[in-house]
Amino acid sequence: MRNDIPRRRGERGLTQAALADALGVSRQTVISLERGRFDPSLPLAFRIAALFGCSVEEVFTPDDDGEDIAT
Amino acid sequence: MPRRLAIAGLSAVVAAGFGAVAGLVHGTPFWSTAGIFALVALGPAVAATWYLTVGRRVPEVRNPPAEQRDSIERRWWQHAASAAFVDTTALAGSALVLVALTDFRGADPVLVLVLVLTVAWVDVLARLAVLRRAEG
């Protein structure tokens, strides 16, 4: 799953550590999230979306753009 | 405070029980054997008593908060532990086949169990280190 967390975090001037604090996770978790190596649980995805003031699907997009679901 | 005293007392009784059984099984000198076994068993006894009497009712223990579940470190741990379990099972199975083929009966069971535990934990720690280095 892809995400644009780094861009949104950068726009808000947040460091990875500050974002981790705001989300209640470790900094390593934020690093792995941004690299796309860690797919968050739904509650965490909603917390991230709420923090950035947008919907979950605006932050996260499936790697295959949902082709599997559509077909 | 009364709860802590109760846990400490119960733990001491359990550890003393282990010590007594060990002392009886191993024979003389009873008191030194029982004392050493009781001392070694005290830590695990405290942990087990706390968990059985208090810990499992603590909400954070029964149902960890989302922050703890949403952690890459927890994911690493799950991957490392499950992979190490498969490794250890495969290793033990292979060793069992060898023992069955060769009819080898010379190994000390205590040594074998210590070896299995050591292999399992070294495997977990090595896998954790590799995951941390790969993603860190």
In the DSSP assignment, the letter for residue A40 is P
pLDDT tens-digit readout, B83-125: 999 999 999 999 999 988 988 888 888 898 999 999 999 999 9
Do residues B69 and A38 lie in contact, with contact meaning Cβ atoms separated by under 8 Å? no
pLDDT tier for residue B27 given thresholds of 50, 70 and 90: confident
Residue % of chain B over a pLDDT of 90: 40
Q: Would the pLDDT of B23 be above 60?
A: yes
Identity at B103, one-letter amino acid code: D
Mean pLDDT of A33-44: 90
Higher pLDDT, A9 or B71: A9
Residue A47 has φ and ψ, to the nearest 5°, of -65, -40
| DSSP H or E segment with residue B95 | helix B72-102
Residues of chain B with C-beta less than 8 angstroms from the C-beta of A21: none
Neighbours of B45 (CB within 10 A): 22
A25 contacts B71? CB cut-off 8 A: yes
C-alpha distances in Å from residue B38, one per residue of A65, B14, B29, B45: 61, 8, 14, 9
User: What is the C-alpha separation between B132 and B126, in angstroms, rounded?
Assistant: 10
**Residue A70's pLDDT is what?**
47
pLDDT tier for residue B63 given thresholds of 50, 70 and 90: low
Residues of chain A with C-beta less than 8 angstroms from the C-beta of B135: 28, 31-32, 35, 37
**Residue B26's pLDDT is what?**
82
pLDDT tier for residue A71 given thresholds of 50, 70 and 90: very low
**Residue B134's pLDDT is what?**
86
The encoded tokens of residue B4 equal: 């802590």
Mean pLDDT of B72-88: 94
Identity at A49, one-letter amino acid code: A
Do residues B70 and A43 lie in contact, with contact meaning Cβ atoms separated by under 8 Å? yes
B84 Cβ contact list (under 8 Å, min separation 6): B120, B121, B123, B124, B127
User: What is the C-alpha separation between B81 and B5, in angstroms, rounded?
Assistant: 35
Do residues B120 and B89 lie in contact, with contact meaning Cβ atoms separated by under 8 Å? no
C-alpha distances in Å from residue B15, one per residue of B38, B39, B52, B70: 5, 7, 15, 37
Residues of chain A with C-beta less than 8 angstroms from the C-beta of B67: 23-25
**Residue B126's pLDDT is what?**
97
Identity at B70, one-letter amino acid code: D
**Residue A54's pLDDT is what?**
94
Higher pLDDT, A30 or B29: A30
The closest CB to that of B73, out of A24, A26, A41, belongs to: A26
User: What is the C-alpha separation between A35 and A38, in angstroms, rounded?
Assistant: 8
Phi-psi region of B63 (alpha: psi -120 to 50; beta: other; left: phi over 0): beta
Higher pLDDT, A34 or B61: A34
**Residue B6's pLDDT is what?**
86
